[in-house]
Amino acid sequence: MVLCVVVLHPQHLVCKDRLIMLICRRWLAFSLKGQCRSLSLSASRRIIMPAWVIDKYGDNNVLRFSKNVFLPIIHFPNEVIIKVHAAALNPIDISMRGGYGITTLALKRDFLDLSEKGKEFPLILGRDVSGEIMECGLAVNLFKPGDQVWAAIPPWKQGSLAEFVVVSANEVAHKPRSLEHVEAASIPYVAETAWSAIVNTGGLNKDNSAKKRQLTATTPMDSHESTSLGTSSNPCAPRLRAPIETNLLSLEALSVLILGGSGGVGTIAIQMLKAWGAHVTVTCSYDAKSLVRDLGADDVVDYTAEPPEKQLQSLPKFDLILDNIGGETEKWAPSLLKPWSGAKFVTLVTPFLNNADRLGAVDGMLQSGATLGCKMIKIRAVVEKVFTFAEVPKAFEKVEQGHARGKTVVTVAKHL
Ligand SMILES: NC(=O)c1ccc[n+]([C@@H]2O[C@H](COP(=O)([O-])OP(=O)(O)OC[C@H]3O[C@@H](n4cnc5c(N)ncnc54)[C@H](OP(=O)(O)O)[C@@H]3O)[C@@H](O)[C@H]2O)c1
């Protein structure tokens, strides 16, 4: 406990010079080697690392590679430092590069220090990470240096397009052994998003996606068998057999429509819902039909062939609609829900952070549980394209162009 105070102390000193803080901390860590259960000192002599940063908001030109970014440090006892093996990009990285949610994210980063504009720079983007634990805060029990992990990093924290990233232990999970780092990096952020939309907001889960319906089967009258209805006064009268109640369980799948099923969120959402027994209808463009079918989609509507609202009208109504597209869809899609049944329309395309900036709200939907929804389900990673660490700007271009078919991943450790 004493050690905890000593190691964390430099961060809370008045001293503003981060370099001195880092040296202090590294020196303390080094001198206390052997006394600390959870500190790995593998990176202890270094204070800088390579990373892709932005120093202002804008287009792809603001991305800058630097070899001299300060190594992240543990500020709180529940934090861990991860050596990044692979990172993945999401549409939010493009938005954040352009300044999405500036005020709200600044408040989340440092709610006391409102005056300093641009304090977040140099800002590291990248919300997904798969890698290896290098160092653990003293309150971390579930992880140790060397553990292979994956995590979704909240948008107000420094991201994963760097050699190392620091996150809270509760944002991290052990990486499934069956997945390589590149595959693993493609899952956390979209899985959390899909989970938050389908489970937390949509109310579906593994137990209710296929609704159990009890059927009572009755057998026809039988004159030769005894009855539990008692004896008839007429011995010649056919004796009635009581209806035998056999409780048959029939599974009636709930019906879910995913608008835009071929991107990062859609490809995970299809798999989650199919694993839970739901009936899944997906809209996507023609060339993505085989991908979404392979992932389990039952009905596929090509939105490029004919207006999707027209095609979907002829299908039975839905219990849940997950909208990854937004805009016009919000006008016509709610009419496809089953009426009077508690059916829900959940949209992921929300100007939440922009509104929050304008209106002053503080929290975002992404703050919802950090548990990775996919840990109970066999999820297939859908990696569309892998870029090297040197190619990060190209990776941003790819995501910005749209038409994703799964995820864009960047390999990091391999290329340093
Ligand atoms: N990634 C996250 O974790 C996350 C978190 C919060 C919110 N969101 C938001 O949720 C939305 C989806 O995210 P994502 O990561 O899945 O995006 P994405 O990877 O870019 O995928 C979007 C997919 O939608 C398809 N599409 C575009 N227009 C369509 C239409 N009219 N009908 C059907 N499909 C269409 C695109 O392919 P084609 O253009 O070739 O059809 C692409 O496959 C985005 O608006 C994002 O900002 C995402």
Q: How many CB atoms lie within 10 A of CB 324?
A: 24
Instruction: Write out residues with Cβ below 6 Å of ligand 1.
Output: 90-92, 189-190, 193, 259-260, 262-266, 283-285, 303, 324-325, 348-349, 402-404
The answer to whether 50 touches 162, Cβ cutoff 8 Å, is: yes
**Helix 102-109, helix 352-359: angle, nearest 10:** 80
Residues in Cβ contact with 81 at an 8 Å cutoff, skipping those fewer than 6 apart: 43, 72, 73, 74, 133, 134, 135, 136, 164, 165, 166
Region 89-105: mean pLDDT is 92
Region 216-231: mean pLDDT is 36
Render pLDDT for 107-142 as a digit per residue (tens, 0 to 9).
Answer: 888 766 665 778 899 999 999 999 999 999 999 999
Residue 91 CA: distances (Å) to CA of 260, 304, 379, 402: 14, 22, 21, 9
With a cut of 90, say whether residue 34 has pLDDT above it: no
Helices (H), 15-83: 18-31
Q: Give the tokens for residue 198.
A: 């389908």
With a cut of 80, say whether residue 52 has pLDDT above it: yes
Residue 208 CB burial class (10 angstroms; 0-12, 13-18, ≥19): middle
Instruction: For residue 297, report the distance from its CA to the centre of ligand 1, in Å.
Output: 17
Instruction: For residue 288, report the distance from its CA to the centre of ligand 1, in Å.
Output: 13
DSSP, collapsed to helix, strand or coil, labels residue 307 as coil
Which DSSP category does 373 fall into? Answer: G
DSSP labels for 381-401? P-EEEEE-GGGHHHHHHHHHH
The residue among 361 and 353 whose pLDDT is bigger is 353
- What structural domains and CATH numbers belong to the chain? 2-187+382-415 (3.90.180.10), 194-209+254-374 (3.40.50.720), 211-225+236-252 (no CATH)
- CA-to-CA distance for 334 and 336, rounded, in angstroms? 5
- CA-to-CA distance for 191 and 131, rounded, in angstroms? 17
Residue 70 CB burial class (10 angstroms; 0-12, 13-18, ≥19): middle
- CA-to-CA distance for 29 and 44, rounded, in angstroms? 7
Query: Which of 186, 265, 409 has the most ligand 1 atoms within 8 A of CB, as the residue to mutate?
Result: 265
Q: Closest Cα to residue 413, out of 131, 111, 71, 93?
A: 131
Looking at ligand 1, which residue's alpha carbon is closest to its atom 26? 260
Looking at ligand 1, which residue's alpha carbon is closest to its atom 45? 349
- CA-to-CA distance for 363 and 351, rounded, in angstroms? 13
Strands 246-253 and 210-217: antiparallel
Render pLDDT for 244-256 as a digit per residue (tens, 0 to 9).
Answer: 344 455 568 999 9
With a cut of 80, say whether residue 380 has pLDDT above it: yes
Looking at ligand 1, which residue's alpha carbon is closest to its atom 24? 260
Query: Which of 89, 125, 303, 348 has the most ligand 1 atoms within 8 A of CB, as the residue to mutate?
Result: 348
- CA-to-CA distance for 258 and 323, rounded, in angstroms? 6
Instruction: For residue 402, report the distance from its CA to the centre of ligand 1, in Å.
Output: 8
The fraction of the chain above a pLDDT of 90, given in percent, is 64
Instruction: For residue 264, report the distance from its CA to the centre of ligand 1, in Å.
Output: 7
DSSP, collapsed to helix, strand or coil, labels residue 355 as helix
Query: Which of 160, 189, 195, 262 has the most ligand 1 atoms within 8 A of CB, as the residue to mutate?
Result: 262
Task: Work out the pLDDT band at 30, boundaries 50, 70, 90.
Answer: very low
Quote the pLDDT of residue 105. 86
User: Mapped to the 3 state alphabet, what secondary structure does 224-292 carry?
Assistant: CCCCCCCCCCCCCCCCCCCCCCEEEEEEEECEEEEECCCCHHHHHHHHHHHHCCCEEEEEECHHHHHHH
Render pLDDT for 155-178 as a digit per residue (tens, 0 to 9).
Answer: 999 999 999 999 999 999 999 999
Ligand 1 atom with the smallest distance to the CA of 260 is 34
Residues in Cβ contact with 92 at an 8 Å cutoff, skipping those fewer than 6 apart: 100, 127, 155, 189
Instruction: For residue 42, report the distance from its CA to the centre of ligand 1, in Å.
Output: 40
Looking at ligand 1, which residue's alpha carbon is closest to its atom 2? 190
The fraction of the chain above a pLDDT of 70, given in percent, is 71
